[in-house]
Amino acid sequence: MKVLVPVKRVVDYNVKVRVKADGSGVETANVKFSMNPFDEIAVEEAVRLKEAGKASEVVAVSIGPATAQETLRTALAIGADRAILVQTDAEVQPLGVAKALKALIEKEAPQIVLLGKQAIDGDCNQTGQMLAALLGWPQGTFASKVVPGDGVLTVTREIDGGLETVELTLPAVVTTDLRLNEPRYASLPNIMKAKKKPLETVTAESLGVDLSPRLTTLKVAEPPKRKAGIKVSDVGALVDKLRNDARVI
Partner 1 sequence: MSTRDSLEFDVLVIGAGPSGLSAAIRLKQLANEAGQELSVCVIEKGSEVGAHLLSGAVFEPHALDELIPDWKDKGAPLTTPAREDHFVFLTETKAHKFPVTPPQMNNHGNFIISLGNLARWMAAQAEELGVEIYPGFAAAEVLYDEQGAVKGVATGDMGIGKDGAKTANYTPGMELHAKQTIFAEGCRGSLTKTLFETFNLRDGVDPQTYGLGIKELWEIDPAKSQPGLIVHTIGWPMDAKTYGGSWLYHMDGNLVSVGFVVGLDYANPHLSPFEEFQRYKTHPAIRPTFEGGRRIAYGARALSEGGFQSIPKLTFPGGLIVGDAAGFLNVPKIKGNHTAMKSGMVAAEAVYEHLTGGSNGREVVEYPERLKASWVWSELHAVRNIRPGFQKGLWAGLANAAFETATRGKAPWTLHHHADHTTLKKAAEAPPIVYPKPDGVVSFDRLSSVYLSNTNHEENQPAHLTLKDAETPIRVNLALYDAPETRYCPAGVYEIVRAEDGTAPRLQINAQNCVHCKTCDIKDPTQNINWVVPEGGGGPNYPGGM
Q: Which of 109, 123, 185, 221 binds partner 1 (CB under 8 A)?
A: 185
Residue 16 lies near partner 1 (rule: CB under 8 A): yes
Total residues at the site for partner 1 (CB under 8 A)? Answer: 19
In the bound state with partner 1, the residue whose beta carbon lies nearer, of 185 and 230, is 185
Task: Please give the residues from 115 up to 174 whose contact with partner 1 meets the rule CB under 8 A.
Answer: none
32 near partner 1, judged by CB under 8 A: yes
Cβ of residue 63: shortest distance to partner 1, in angstroms? 22
Based on the shown chain and the rule CB under 8 A, indicate whether residue 66 belongs to the binding site for partner 1.
no
26 lines the binding site for partner 1 (CB under 8 A): no
DSSP string for residues in 94-154: HHHHHHHHHHHHHHH--SEEEEES--TTT----HHHHHHHHHT--EEEEEEEEEE-SSEEE
Contacts of 103 (CB under 8 A, 6+ apart): 207, 208, 209
Q: Which of 67, 165, 169, 187 binds partner 1 (CB under 8 A)?
A: 187
Distance, CA of 25 to CA of 31 (rounded, Å): 14
Cα–Cα distance, 193 to 47 (Å, whole number): 15
Q: 3-state DSSP call for residue 115?
A: strand
Residue 26 has a CB neighbour count (10 Å cut-off) of: 15
224 makes contact with partner 1 (CB under 8 A): no
Phi, psi dihedrals of residue 205, rounded to the nearest 5°: -60, -40
Helix H or strand E segment including 108: helix 94-108
Q: How far is CA 145 from CA 57, 140, 158, 206, in A?
A: 20, 10, 9, 36
Our finding on whether 221 is near partner 1 (CB under 8 A) is no
- Minimum distance from residue 117 beta carbon to partner 1 (Å): 22
Q: Interface with partner 1 includes 192 (CB under 8 A)?
A: yes
Options 82, 145, 184, 197; binder of partner 1; rule CB under 8 A: 184
179 belongs to the binding site for partner 1 (CB under 8 A)? no
Q: Which is nearer to partner 1, 29 or 246 (CB)?
A: 29
Q: Which residues bind partner 1 (CB under 8 A)?
A: 12, 14-16, 18, 21, 29-32, 34, 182, 184-185, 187-189, 191-192
